[in-house]
A and B are shown apart, each in its own frame.
Chain A
Amino acid sequence: MSLASGVQIQDECMTAFNKLRMTGGTKGAKPKFIIFKIADNKREVVVDEISEETDYEVFRTKLEKSVDAKGNPAPRYAVYDVEYNLGDTEGSRSKIVFISWVPTDTPTLWSMIYASTREVLKNALNVDKSIHADDKSEIEWKAVLAEASSGKAI
């Protein structure tokens, strides 16, 4: 066991994530991304937002504009279902990317809690593609696309 905060993952996170992960026949109602946060009681990871919005920039702006109870910039975790096309032979694919967002001026308390809970959440969701960002340039579409496709899709 590596060093971790002990912060728990609420069941609603797993439920929401399973919804996003299940592809298949059912039309519509398929989530595109989920934003998670650590509750103010510092005890659990909860769902901040689950959305079907397909415009990546909407997601990115939401992440960037995340604030704490006092209105200061705050960290978040997210998963995004990235769809990409590898051309005629390989066709289109989709891959889920895990994102940790800890903006540079986050107070040390929250930096510490988010960093020490990251692996627990990532492992619980069992996502292996991941990005860590503290600056909005690190969550540009091309960075997320490159991570999802292991650099194959441009």
Chain B
Amino acid sequence: MNPSNAPSAAEYGGDEVSAIVLDPGFSTTRAGFAGEDTPKSLIPTYYGKYSFEGQGKLIYGDDVFVTPRPGLSIHNPIGRDGVVEDWDMAEKVWEYSFTSKLTGAKPGNPLHNGLNDLPEGELPSEMEGVESEERPLADSPLLMSESSWNPAKAREKTIEIAMEKWGSPAFYLARNGVLAAFAAGKASALVVDIGASNISVTPVHDGMILKRGVQHSPLGGDYISSQIRALFKSNSPQPIIITPHYLISAKTAVEAGQPPQVKYKTFPPERAPDASYRTLVEERTLSEFKECVVQVWPGPTKLSSTGPNGTPNEEIARNSPGRPFEFPDGYNQVFGVDRYRVVESLFDAKAAIQDPESLFPAPTQAQTVPELIKAALNGVDVDIRPHLLSNVVVTGASSLLYGFTDRLNQELMQLYPGPRVRISAPGNTSERRFSSWIGGSILASLGTFHQMWISKKEFDEHGPNIVEKRCK
């Protein structure tokens, strides 16, 4: 028999599958139908909590940004290390990601939806055999992605939610490093993923992650935000305070560097949202700042050292044209060398801008991108290192920082002067932001993928541990 043939058709058969692909990140959760180019549903993983007339309320999706409700506080069910901390809320946020835009909300219990209320004087009829609740994924196989260091317990919990809570007929859990490598056409690659809460380096060989080589550190997009905040505090001519739009009632245009002319909206303490709401909204301004202003120093030498002709790099950076940025309160300024300084510590820990109040401790050199790559390569067989270096795949939204891949290339060429270093990074921004989702979308849409799915029947027979055996 041809050794590549599947032993027998899986319980879950048929090509007309409308699988759902769910790629849950720390900052955003991506969900959509398999076969589509980009995830239809892109929501923040953050959710809001407030109380109204004594009742606890929750808000999900983009709605969290909209209204500064009294006492509104912002939370995230996922830990900074990318592993779920609050399973109940993770389930709710993920469920919202597909029910809000893809599958529709599940209908309520037919006993209570009013359609089956008894007209007066009539006796109740048999309600047996009526499912008390329709489950949200009863018709949809589900492919989810996960980080390379997701522990076995978390993987089992994930399949339990999919099968038992959502009623999915089939499930698969794929490592996002493998999905990103495959999406770049490679079965072996070194995947460098720059996310919001983490940066990670995952060696993938022959379609499998090499666990010993997997490295990650917290210097992701949120860390860069903390560096920008540190910069704003020490800014001259004056410290910059980010005032979100919801706190501004009127503003007048001002010249660059002049104090903002603004009328603030004030909330009495009992009407004010929690500080976590303001932080979340400020983050949107910081994202815009990263997209428009921040630039990675191109190298080849560190920003703090001297270029080939003896001029300090900082001076070259200072003399290059700056970029203007206007804040929500109208304050605006041109940023010169500082726009390089806020990201330099991704490569050179000593360059970090000090801020004792920051949530992020000062980085160590071992947490920087080049050192993570070095550690990842040291963790794998020496024979495959050159191959991984010639197949570096860069992904993750924060890798879109202007100049990031050029600098990474310089750093790697210096670290490894011998072997050929080649970076592949999609130029298309949505492919860079959603590469794991897109990879999952393609696989789950293939008719032939049915043999990979774990069916409900298999789950019932073998229990949640089947995910460890089938999704390697």
Q: Show the binding face of A for B, using Cβ within 8 Å.
A: 1-9, 11, 14, 42-43, 75, 100, 102, 104, 106, 108-116, 118-124, 132, 134, 138
Q: Mark B248-260, 1 if CB is under 8 A from A, else 0.
A: 0000000000000
Given contacts A123-B3, A124-B4, contact A6 B472 (CB under 8 A): no
Given contacts A14-B2, A112-B439, contact A6 B448 (CB under 8 A): yes
Given contacts A3-B452, A42-B447, A104-B424, contact A119 B206 (CB under 8 A): yes
Selecting from B175-183, B223-231, B286-294, B370-378, the interface stretch reads: B175-183
A134/B185 in contact, CB under 8 A: yes
Contact among B207, B446, B471 for A6, CB-based, below 8 A: B446
Please name all residues of chain A whose beta carbon is closer than 8 Å to the beta carbon of B431 when the two chains form the complex. 108
Cα A134 to Cα B188 with chains together (Å): 12
B208 within 8 Å of A (CB atoms):
yes
Please name all residues of chain B whose beta carbon is closer than 8 Å to the beta carbon of A122 when the two chains form the complex. 206
Please name all residues of chain B whose beta carbon is closer than 8 Å to the beta carbon of A42 when the two chains form the complex. 446-448
Please name all residues of chain A whose beta carbon is closer than 8 Å to the beta carbon of B439 when the two chains form the complex. 108, 112
Cα A102 to Cα B175 with chains together (Å): 22
B470/A7 in contact, CB under 8 A: no
Closest chain A residue to B35 by CB distance? A109
Q: How far is the CB of B135 from chain A (nearest CB, A)?
A: 26
Cα A134 to Cα B187 with chains together (Å): 12
Q: Mark B377-405, 1 if CB is under 8 A from A, else 0.
A: 00000000001001100000000000000
Given contacts A3-B178, A123-B3, contact A118 B446 (CB under 8 A): no
Please name all residues of chain B whose beta carbon is closer than 8 Å to the beta carbon of A116 when the two chains form the complex. 182, 187, 207, 443
A115/B449 in contact, CB under 8 A: no
Please name all residues of chain A whose beta carbon is closer than 8 Å to the beta carbon of B186 when the two chains form the complex. 102, 115, 132, 134
Q: How far is the CB of B390 from chain A (nearest CB, A)?
A: 8
Cα A85 to Cα B431 with chains together (Å): 45
Contact among A6, A14, A106 for B451, CB-based, below 8 A: A6
Contact among A8, A11, A138 for B448, CB-based, below 8 A: A8
Please name all residues of chain A whose beta carbon is closer than 8 Å to the beta carbon of B2 when the two chains form the complex. 8-9, 11, 14, 124
Contact among A1, A14, A104 for B470, CB-based, below 8 A: A1
Closest chain B residue to A44 by CB distance? B448
Cα A11 to Cα B186 with chains together (Å): 25
Q: How far is the CB of B372 from chain A (nearest CB, A)?
A: 23
A119/B6 in contact, CB under 8 A: no
Candidate in A2, A42, A104 with the most chain B CB atoms within 10 angstroms: A2
B449/A6 in contact, CB under 8 A: yes
Task: Please list 20 pairs of residues, one from A and one from B, whose beta carbons are closer than 8 Å in the complex, sorted by A's number.
Answer: A2-B208, A3-B175, A3-B179, A4-B207, A6-B448, A7-B448, A43-B447, A75-B185, A102-B185, A104-B424, A111-B185, A112-B182, A112-B439, A112-B443, A113-B446, A115-B181, A119-B187, A119-B206, A119-B207, A124-B3
Please name all residues of chain A whose beta carbon is closer than 8 Å to the beta carbon of B450 when the two chains form the complex. 6
A132/B443 in contact, CB under 8 A: no
Closest chain A residue to B471 by CB distance? A3
